[in-house]
Chains A and B, each alone.
Chain A
Amino acid sequence: AQSVTQLGSHVSVSEGALVLLRCNYSSSVPPYLFWYVQYPNQGLQLLLKYTSAATLVKGINGFEAEFKKSETSFHLTKPSAHMSDAAEYFCAVSLNSGGYQKVTFGTGTKLQVIP
């Protein structure tokens, strides 16, 4: 079984401050992990993904995430928040389950950026 836990359904940061969105996973096999962003009334856009090539993964818009097996975590960070980063962020774990790609999403974290 696989699952994802995102700590904090809402996170507020000041513009220019560090963004840290937390994600912990549970997986019976080595996981592949994704971060997606969703703007209001839109679909999901891929920010970055971990597929075991490197533990520190860089994504779009200045975001990055570090895979820590010992902590079963894949937290998303950005050094300096921008107003345009206000959105909802989803962490997801993917595995191949009997011939198909089973992707399990967390419940999401809404990021508010305060001017």
Chain B
Amino acid sequence: DAGVTQSPTHLIKTRGQHVTLRCSPISGHKSVSWYQQVLGQGPQFIFQYYEKEERGRGNFPDRFSARQFPNYSSELNVNALLLGDSALYLCASSLRTDSTDTQYFGPGTRLTVL
């Protein structure tokens, strides 16, 4: 079975630009979460979506937004990119939003902002 897939693998942008990252969850999983992992740190929670609705949001500015589609895939959008947005962006899927659910992670998208 296919795991969580993310595209693109790598991305280079300049300050002020906009970026869209994509994620396809494991088949049957209805929840998608997004994380930012800055080099040398653990992943930081950005969003969780379930059944196409935003269920939770981490401490990130409004420049970050996301959505989930009817097929449960998801997009993360970041506007007005800053140098500090350079990071590995991880998508994770799970069956639901229970605290015991296992989140399965994709390989990530490496974003570099110049």
Contact = CB atoms under 8 A, between A and B. Distances in A.
B98 A96 contact: yes
Q: Categorize the interface residue count of chain A.
A: 20 to 34
A98 interface: yes
Interface of A: 32, 34, 36, 41-46, 49, 51, 90, 92, 94-108
Contact of B45 (A34, A99, A103, A106): A103
A46 B97 CA distance: 17
A101 B94 contact: yes
Contact of B108 (A43, A103, A107): A43
10 contacts: A42-B107, A92-B42, A94-B101, A99-B97, A101-B94, A101-B98, A102-B48, A102-B56, A104-B45, A108-B40
Nearest to B47: A100
Given A43-B108, A90-B43, A105-B43, A100 B56 contact: yes
